[in-house]
Amino acid sequence: MVEDLKGKETWRIFRILSEFIEGFDELSDIGPAVSIFGSARIESNKKYYKQCVEVSSMLSKNGYAVITGGGPGLMEAANKGAIQNGGMSIGLNISLPREQKANKYQNRSLHFKYFFARKVMFVKYAVGYVCMPGGFGTLDELFEALTLIQTHKIYPFPIILFGKEYWAPLMDFIKKTMLHHKTIDPEDLDYIELTDDPKEVLAIINKHMDKKMKLIKSAKAMEKRGDKDKKTVRIKNRKGIP
């Protein structure tokens, strides 16, 4: 019996590896992307659904791929806004006992069994997060990204909370309770943006992308100078020049 359990765990490792490999293969060419999170329970006639379509549509028009959890509600809204503009609309679907039914607005779909493999894909290919009103799943993605940025495990990117009224109580708790007890630093609040304006979402993402591209350009220039200096040293050594 013990041997059977060991065998089962071994095959589970292969399944986990296959999810990572498939994700890396499928998403390696998508370009700059924004991961959008939100409740699966908000219906299409609600305000936040319509705003989510608008946010996603605006991002898509400006060349960003949109990544969601692939399900209904606000995930559907985000995929819908992207695909209606001919953009890359990605759904990272997962097997769940309820709520997770893949929406029809995906032109690239992946299917996961394990949350942790799926989470890697959300963060690895994103230049920003947009958190629409959501439940535990949205909060999970929000605080995991904040933790990774705070601990310097990933390069900082904007985390945008859309819906001031919805997120106000959480922001009050963070500012009045967490800061008061010094469980976070005041600078940690700089990672979070709060807005009700789709245009501001785009402006925040564009500003981050401009900064990132400048850093990449600067790093490449330094690398090129370093290679040039190494080449000069090699030539001098060959010629015996001190």
Residues ≥6 apart with Cβ < 8 Å to 177? none
For residue 146, is pLDDT > 90? yes
pLDDT in tens, 35-78: 999 999 999 999 999 999 999 999 999 999 999 999 999 999 99
- Find the mean pLDDT for residues 14-31: 94
What gap in Å lies between CA 181 and CA 115, rounded to an integer? Answer: 31
Beta carbons of 85 and 61 less than 8 angstroms apart: yes
Could you tell me the domains of the chain? Answer: 2-199 (3.40.50.450)
pLDDT of res. 212: 84
Angle between helix 115-124 and 2-27 (nearest 10): 20
What gap in Å lies between CA 200 and CA 158, rounded to an integer? Answer: 12
Nearest to 138 by CA among 75, 215, 186: 75
Give, in order, the Cα–Cα distances in Å from 4 to each of 10, 11, 21: 10, 11, 26
Q: HSE on the CB side for 184, CA within 13 Å?
A: 20
pLDDT of res. 208: 95
pTM for the full predicted model: 0.86
Please report, rounded to a whole number, the percentage of residues in the chain having pLDDT higher than 90. Answer: 76
Instruction: For residue 219, name the pLDDT band (cuts at 50, 70, 90).
Output: confident
pLDDT in tens, 98-136: 656 889 999 999 999 999 999 999 999 999 999 999 999
Residue appearing with tokens 């390696």? 28
For residue 4, is pLDDT > 80? no
Give, in order, the Cα–Cα distances in Å from 164 to each of 19, 190, 212, 218: 36, 16, 27, 36
